Amino acid sequence: MIRRLQIARVLKIALLLILVLSACSEKKQPLEEVNYRLKWLFNISVVGDLWAVAQGNFERNGLKVTVKPGGPEKDAIKELEIGHAQFGVASADQVIRAVSKGSPIVVLAQLFQINPLHWIYRPDRTVLRTPQDLKGKTIGITYGGNDETIMRALLAKFNIKEEDVNLFSVRYDYTPFYKGEVDLWPLYRNAQAPIIGEKLRQAGEKFDLLSPSKLGIRFVANSVITTKKTLEDRPDTVRRFMQALLQGWTEALDPENKEMAIKIVLKYNQETPEKIVRKQLPATRILMLPNAKFEFGKIDVTAWKQTEQIMLTQNLIDNPVHIESRLMPAVE
């Protein structure tokens, strides 16, 4: 009997030892690798993406995410289809165009709730009390770009004919605006307006911004996308990616984390002075979180429908694509 008890005790100890050893030697699950292609270069408009990498949000969700900067010649949708990336950021017009050509992409979250594209002008020289005041003005647009579509939609909404305004083809060079040859110049409110505004201020000039959104043109900007296949085959990856990303954005835009967010942007983008980044951050927050209770990443279905309608009206797509069927919000 004693012998049996001794054997049982030894067995128990051995079992315990095996459990402890196995727990100690248990290897960490390897992180799942995914590529995430942004729409533009590393700047304030991707602060949440950079935060999620730098602060380990992706790693905590079992992902090793390579965030790749975008650029004019890089198209996340094409990379998703070819398989070079699993997630990406694309503007709504890109998404709608791609869907109209049979691209199997879906939208998971909307980054900007207000399109950052605005027009800067000098209120002392260019008086804009009503949209009708646009008549006779020289307005900068990038032919073929988003801003052309938005401005044409704005003019159409207020029955302003193209011959009533002077459309000026813009470049990256702001000289025609500085010289006063162009009255309104398109720029991104969060990224460029603080820089250009600062220059105007230094020159003793006032500036204001024309917001198409405030005038009823809700043309959606950047959103997070993936393919239908990724969504169907790897739903858990998509869930974890979106969880980490949305958390990253929410934390980055939290005013309490301001200093860390600025530090992260400066780490990835050494070209923009800290003074400017400090102005860019709150401007970005307003565009992404219009009010304090707003949950980051919500998809504005009405705005998407309006974007599609604008593109249809301007013959940028041949037929309706019913874009709402491609909106798969990670945030309800």
- Site of interaction with other proteins (CB under 8 A): 72-73, 75, 77-78, 81-83, 94, 97-98, 101-104, 142-145, 169, 171-173, 175, 316
For other proteins, give the closer residue by CB, 132 or 169. 169
Q: Smallest gap, in angstroms, from Cβ of residue 75 to other proteins?
A: 6
Q: Where are the alpha helices (DSSP H) in 193-330?
A: 193-202, 228-233, 235-253, 258-268, 274-288, 301-313
Q: Are 93 and 316 in contact (CB under 8 A)?
A: yes
**Burial letters for 118-135: b for 16+ Cβ neighbours within 10 Å, e otherwise?**
bbbbbeeebebeebeebe
Report the side by side order of strands in the sheet with 117-121: 185-188, 117-121, 208-210
Q: Smallest gap, in angstroms, from Cβ of residue 172 to other proteins?
A: 8
φ, ψ for residue 303 (rounded to 5)? -65, -40
Q: Smallest gap, in angstroms, from Cβ of residue 145 to other proteins?
A: 5
Q: Smallest gap, in angstroms, from Cβ of residue 81 to other proteins?
A: 5
User: 32: which strand partners?
Assistant: 63
CA dist., res. 131 & res. 12, Å (int): 83
For other proteins, give the closer residue by CB, 27 or 171. 171
For other proteins, give the closer residue by CB, 199 or 206. 199
For other proteins, give the closer residue by CB, 101 or 199. 101
For other proteins, give the closer residue by CB, 30 or 144. 144
Q: Which two tokens stand for residue 328?
A: 């798969």
Q: Smallest gap, in angstroms, from Cβ of residue 196 to other proteins?
A: 15
